[in-house]
Amino acid sequence: MRCNIDAHGRSVRLATGLVALAAGFILIIYARRGIFGDAWAWPIGIFLVIVGGFAMFEGYVGWCALRAMGIRTKV
């Protein structure tokens, strides 16, 4: 994997990943405690944790999957 994003893109991906990861963990904790009675909280929480982890990986490595596929991102 070659670096295909600059320092600004890396910092945005790290911050976005951290926010998504935190939101996912909070949602999973609330779902586990029964605050949300519906079954929608578990899959969304797990999805946010996976997406947040991947975004943080992209920011840490300096590689963007969308850019690698030829899609131009704004950041």
pLDDT in tens, 2-28: 888 999 999 999 999 999 999 999 999
Q: What is the pLDDT of residues 26-63, one digit of tens each?
A: 999 998 888 877 788 899 999 999 999 999 999 999 99
pTM for this model (two decimals): 0.87
Give the whole-angstrom CA distance, residue 33 versus residue 37.
9
Instruction: Number of helices (H) and strands (E) in the chain: give both, helices first.
Output: 3, 0
Placement of tokens 């840490």 in the chain: 60
Q: In this predicted structure, what is the pLDDT of residue 36?
A: 75
DSSP letters, 29-41, are HHHHHTSS-STTH
